[in-house]
Structure 1
């Protein structure tokens, strides 16, 4: 399903910096854009909207679609390849594809294995993808942490058994910059429905640990390229899943102390705001998306 803006709603792309400042970069009343990625050369943001990929040039402010063929409508789970030339995307048919940022044909990676596949991470060497598998696309079932070789095909083994992160739902698995850890959110630390907390596990399946204990519902941890900082999205306590159109906050922490927020940016958003890693290559800034409503709509 392609998300669209409500009447009186707009989409705002923001840039936050590690010193606490935030700047409005782009606004649209027409297309609901989601989940920015920052290109390796630092020149552009890549996001999805209206089922397609788009490129926003940070120097000129120009926006243009990236035309892909052989792939259904896209959702907001996409990550850039470490070579700076390619991108891995999740589509609404439940499969993961790879393509070039320049556009052109996309190649399907995942098999018809009975799961829907929601991509979130690529290893620093580009060899592995981390994703969440949902059995038969049944969203009443918990997501499972999985990895697969990025070249795909029947020969690419799917690895799920070694990642014991509990039986509850998990989401957002992303490799650390050094490739040693997978960072994620999981509901396995509590019996409260939907109470996602931030965690990590080593890529060999050991060392599963909670990063902080909070009363908020915390999703999508994203590490800066230098590993010093992390961003995540904070939902109100009691939230189930990561829905759209809530009062949430984007939070910045040091990876040496996840319990203390360095800065936070309250906004109206949720789904689409920070689903994928949006850090700049110099680790000084990251992008996020807000979806404010007009005053008349709020009333």
Structure 2
């Protein structure tokens, strides 16, 4: 469910990444401007970036990063203001010293005694936030209760720095340092330290994201920040950014022929060609105020959209249109109506609708012209209804038990039962086409249960389907995302059930070389 958006995606130019040869040379290295051996390092470090899988590999030496000076290797870029740094980090091989380490670092300068803070995982599993408050001063440390972190996030907000770490599949555990003065402009980067001057160690970083969040006085639904269109391999959790835009892109649908992703941006629908790596506007005629509640039919021949109609008081109305474009056909009689599901047999559309000041779930024949059928009556918000691929259930999210949680019911509205019951606000249940998995979007409790705002730190979580029902005991985080509204509002599984498409956000688009690959 969303409100009015308006129009057009800006042109995007991508920069080709190349490997820098030293810190004095600031050649582009993926997201980074340069690379450097910091301190009197005996063995020269190096870095490489693979634009196909967007993975970084660092090789470096260095005695230590402790006391009043540092020796290590890093790739870096200069940044100002607030930001969020995130990556999956891994040391390769058995290694020599148990204190070798990889992670994120933020420092005032490339001088070896500079003030700095870093979030790192060591060879022996120690995960810690380490920092130097004064030039040449002793390094201090806050150790995480989590050992052997695989996902490392380091965020700056003013003079407060927060390390959030997780093992793959788990939720974040955090440590914080406040009143750390590093200056407005800082060096931000990935690093490796062998903890042995005579040894080069190697580490890899994937799913690397540098996020500039929305500013504090940001006005939701009036202002927007940039977008990354991402694809993730669900089994490996590996993510690739396939398109970037300074505009707000929302809610990608994957076509059953595996050729396109459909998404909305500023009121229009776009078709992104996966082979060519380019988007084009999808003709929806008069429907130019579409929100992010749009769904493809299971056979891929029709697209259901939610358009804010001036003839209906600018309320969201459900329409259908051929997938190749055309004149939309009005389906729901009144608004607000926000589409989320199409039955596998193509006969029904299911949506959340405001009727008499209360949002409930309804269904209506996809041919239109017939009365809608109310399926839920509980007080509170019911939203996000989506059919299972076998047509036996409609999954949805509801606040009826307090927090927003996932529920399901039979297509006639009977046998309503709660699926999730945890500390998160869970939205938008999406069963995979093969019926073996379900992915959901989870907000933290700092978000009101009935709200699903833009530009928050959220989790995408995965559950296996066991005996036809999601098994919450095996639920895992598969992506750590800065997003929320528009990230994954609609069904976005690939036809083979191996990948999902989603949107992440940042207020500063750092251009990557985008390499088109066959999906």
TM over 0.5: yes
Deviations 1:223-278, CA, capped at 9 Å, x for gaps: 00011011111101141211111111111221231233234211111100010000
Aligned to 1:124: 344
Are 2:227 and 1:15 aligned? no
2:418 match: 210
Contact 2:360 / 2:378 at 8 angstroms: preserved in 1? no
Match of 1:89 among 287, 291, 305: 305
Q: Distance in 2 between matches of 1:142 and 1:248?
A: 27
Q: Equivalent residues in 2 for 1:206-285 (5 A)?
A: 206-240=414-448, 241-256=451-466, 257-285=471-499
Q: Is 1:69–2:69 an aligned residue pair?
A: no
User: Structure 1 residues 116 and 254, CA, compared in 2 at 3 Å: closer, same or farther?
Assistant: same
Q: Distance in 1 between matches of 2:391 and 2:442?
A: 25
Name 1:174's counterpart in structure 2.
Answer: 386
How many Å apart are 1:165 and its aligned residue?
A: 5.7
Structure-to-structure mapping, 1:149-164, within 5 angstroms: 149-153=365-369, 156-160=370-374, 163-164=375-376
Q: Deviations over 1:85-117 (max 9, x none)?
A: 2101001232111111211211111213xx411
Distance in structure 2 (CA, Å) of the matches to 1:83 and 1:264 = 28
Give, in whole Å, the separation in 1 of the partners of 2:382 and 2:224: 33
Structure possessing the higher relative contact order (Cα contacts under 8 Å, 6 or more residues apart): 1
Higher Rg of the two aligned structures: 2
Structure 2 stretches lacking a partner, 5+ long: 8-213, 310-315, 510-519
SS where residue 147 of structure 1 aligns?
strand
Aligned twin of 1:289: 503
The Cα of 1:71 is off from its aligned counterpart by 2.2
The alignment partner of 1:45 has SS state of strand
Looking at structure 2, the residues matched to 79 and 8 of structure 1 have their Cα atoms a distance apart, in angstroms, of 23
Give the total of aligned pairs: 280
- Any stretches of 5+ residues in structure 1 without a counterpart? none
Match for residue 184 of structure 1 among 396, 399, 410: 396
Q: 2:118 is matched with which residue?
A: none
Query: Matched residues in 2 for 1:246 and 1:62: separation?
Result: 27
Residue 8 of structure 1: how far off its partner (Å): 9.5
